[in-house]
């Protein structure tokens, strides 16, 4: 894995992490996986969330689990799909919640969330690669050690970040975040298979209310 593609602010923050033994093992496993099987996202987009959202621009962290595992879907941003790809049901539900939560929101044609990333929304999966057709297949690689470190370092080095934690898996990351410095929003996962309430959580309007209160520009959730 090439770390040079991540911008300088991330490289500086994560430089110690890149030198730890687990990361060398992780890199070896990921590189071997790309050589021997079909893996998503494309290798140049593994760190796309960090590339699209520099450390100094972060306002929101939206935590996902692992990438979509079908051809053409994953491009390194949690919940997002490439242009021209059918929106997964979780993403459709996210848009439905936005429609009810943010008056000016309109359902977009594309499920590509890059416009959010460009405004400071870190769309971070906790596992950054997956074998085609096998969700969770790279769970044992060590990605979570790395992304847990990313979450913790953001908490330690930034202030007034909104962390959106959807589902039990994402909510378990709350222990890595200093709730005295940041806003933590929790809800059920937007998947139609999830239990609990996602609809009506109003996380998008709550996020903008918090950012505005702190003197930070709100997120324009519209994608068109």
Q: Look at 95 and 194; give whichever has higher pLDDT.
A: 95
Q: Where are the alpha helices (DSSP H) in the chain?
A: 8-18, 21-36, 48-52, 89-101, 114-118, 143-157, 167-171, 203-213
Q: Does position 1 have pLDDT exceeding 70, yes or no? A: no
Question: In whole angstroms, how far apart are CA 161 and each of 43, 65, 143, 154?
Answer: 29, 20, 23, 8
pLDDT of residue 195: 73
pLDDT of residue 71: 93
pLDDT of residue 7: 83
Is residue 49 within 8 A of residue 123, CB to CB? The reply is: yes
Q: Does position 4 have pLDDT exceeding 70, yes or no? A: no
pLDDT confidence bin for 3, thresholds 50/70/90: low
pTM of the model as a whole: 0.95
pLDDT of residue 68: 94
* Catalytic residue list: 66
Convert the pLDDT of each residue in 137-186 to its tens digit: 999 999 999 999 999 999 999 999 999 999 999 999 999 999 999 999 99
Convert the pLDDT of each residue in 59-99 to its tens digit: 999 999 999 999 999 999 999 999 999 999 999 999 999 99
Sheet containing strand 162-166, strands side by side: 121-125, 60-64, 162-166, 183-187
């Amino acid at each position: 894995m090439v770390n040079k593609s991540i911008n300088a602010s991330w490289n500086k923050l994560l430089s110690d992490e890149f030198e730890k033994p687990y990361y060398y093992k992780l890199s070896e496993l990921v590189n071997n996986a790309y050589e021997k099987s079909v893996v998503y996202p494309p290798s140049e987009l593994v760190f796309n969330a960090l590339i699209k959202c520099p450390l100094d621009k972060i306002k929101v962290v939206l935590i996902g689990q692992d990438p979509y595992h079908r051809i053409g879907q994953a491009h390194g941003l949690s919940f997002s799909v490439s242009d021209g790809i059918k929106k997964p049901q979780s993403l459709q539900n996210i848009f439905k919640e936005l429609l009810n939560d943010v008056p000016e929101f309109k359902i977009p044609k594309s499920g590509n969330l890059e416009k959010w990333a460009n405004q400071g929304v870190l769309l971070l999966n906790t596992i950054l690669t997956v074998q085609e057709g096998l969700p969770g297949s790279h769970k044992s690689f060590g990605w979570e050690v790395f992304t847990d470190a990313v979450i913790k370092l953001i908490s330690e080095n930034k202030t007034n970040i909104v962390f959106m934690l959807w589902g039990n898996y994402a909510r378990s990351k709350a222990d890595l975040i200093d709730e005295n410095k940041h806003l933590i929003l929790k809800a059920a996962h937007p998947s139609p298979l999830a239990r609990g309430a996602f609809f009506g959580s109003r996380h998008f309007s709550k996020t903008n209310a918090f950012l505005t209160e702190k003197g930070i520009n709100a997120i324009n959730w519209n994608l068109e």
